[in-house]
Each structure stands twice: as C-alpha cells, then as structure tokens.
Amino acid sequence: MTKKQLFYLRVRQTQKEYLVTVCDEDLLGKTICEGELELCINDRFFGGELVPLEKCLEQMKIATNFNLIGKTIVDAAVENRMVNELAVMWINCPDHGKVGHVMFLR
C-alpha cells in the first residue's frame, strides 16, 4: 500500500482576507537554497494541520491569497489550473531537489 501524500495547511482569516499557506510535508522546518536565494519554511508561517491534497485544494479555491511551497503542492495547483506554470518560481536545491514556490493574490 502506498502512503498518501500529506501537506501542512494553515488558514488565516480576517474580515476581508482568507489566506491559505501550504507546504509539502517533508519541507516544514527546512531551508531551501539556490545560490544567494534562501527560503526558510518555518512552522510559524507554514505549520498547521497535516492534511491530504483534496483538503488543500478545497481551501485554495476559496482563498483570497495563497502561498505554496513544494514540488508536489505546486504541481497539483498547476494541474488543477489554479496557478499558471509561468507564475512558479522553481528552485533547484542541492538538498531537496526541484522545489516550487507560488504566491497568489486575487
């Protein structure tokens, strides 16, 4: 049996905004680097509930803004036509391979 891919999902809501952050499960607490670029995937911003892809996609559909990091979640957002692939910043990290980052604002 194959282990189902999980993601860290955090939702923050104000009167006007519904912000969703999602990262691939294996990236939380890691630092992604390529050259001078360094992204820290910290628990304070990306940590949250560990959930399956379907729940992430549901929350992203209703979000006013979302921030994604990870190859799997970004690929899913592109495949589900929530993000144009040209909007993805791909980072080739020696430690974690190809990692996508997307910030989306409606």
pTM for this predicted structure: 0.92
- For residue 1, the model assigns a pLDDT of 44
Helices assigned H by DSSP within the chain: 43-46, 53-62, 71-79
Dump pLDDT digits (tens) for 88-101.
999 998 888 999 99
CA distances from 52 to 17, 48, 104 (A): 23, 13, 21
What's the whole-number mean pLDDT along residues 29-40? 93
Give me the DSSP letters along 14-40. -SS-EEEEEEEGGGTT-EEEETTEEEE
Domains of the chain, earliest start first: 6-105 (3.30.1860.10)
